[in-house]
Structure 1
Amino acid sequence: MQRRFKIRIPDPLAPRALIPHSLDMDIEFDPDKQMIAKHDDTTAHAVEPEPDTPLSDDEFERGFGAMLARRARAATGLSQQNFAEQFGIPAESLRDWEQGRKAPDTAAKSYLRVIARMPEAVAKVLHDAA
């Protein structure tokens, strides 16, 4: 006997205005095929889930920076290359930020926030200054 379940998993790093705050997943569950652990003293410790490992400060900063970079670029609808060129950001840095390999510094985070909220105004100021 198969059962289908639909679950929602909250995504704490999802930007509020751009993508849903959770992921929907369909899971098929067949109890006849699933391994069910016995609840005795010898297997109880092996079945208990491990607690989530907290993020380090560096991991949190990279995840937060990735969210800011993706949100800013999504607000413009530009590709990574075009976004980098239009706003004077090295394309390699933008890729690293979006993929969470590196965290943007404080000034870059502020710049990304401004771009996300007023992309046309920032583009106009940069164009007029050139």
Structure 2
Amino acid sequence: MQTGLKISYLPQDLSSYHGYLPAFAKEHDLDYEHFLNQLKKLGLEREAFKQKIEEMSQGQKKRVALAKSLTEEASLYLWDEPANYLDLFNQDQLIKLLAKEQPAMLLVDHDQAFIEAVAKERVNLRPVL
């Protein structure tokens, strides 16, 4: 591994995400304004900004997780099922955001349309029989 390599990981399980957005950002050393900006780009509704993360819908939690990862300055973004719980509109928002920012990324997803929209290269894994 390269010295100083910074990795931002987007987990599939978001059960450890909790609290209000300002405290969450502080706990994870996120620039709060940049974090809010990413949430807006990902289409998080205004009323959700006042909720605890654990009270949000799965789609809202996923957008919080995506915004957290995108706010982190990283050399590589590792994302596990980023399109899970996102409706088509929010998937489109994410696709546009990734096309604009073009981060170095390795992602795992079952949604072939999403993969085709965001990936420059892909590896298909098949079970060994």
Q: Is TM more than 0.5 here?
A: no
For the pair shown, which has the larger CA radius of gyration, 1 or 2? 1
Q: When the two structures are superposed, what TM-score results if normalisation uses the length of structure 2?
A: 0.28
* Highest RCO, 1 vs 2 (Cα 8 Å, sep ≥ 6): 2
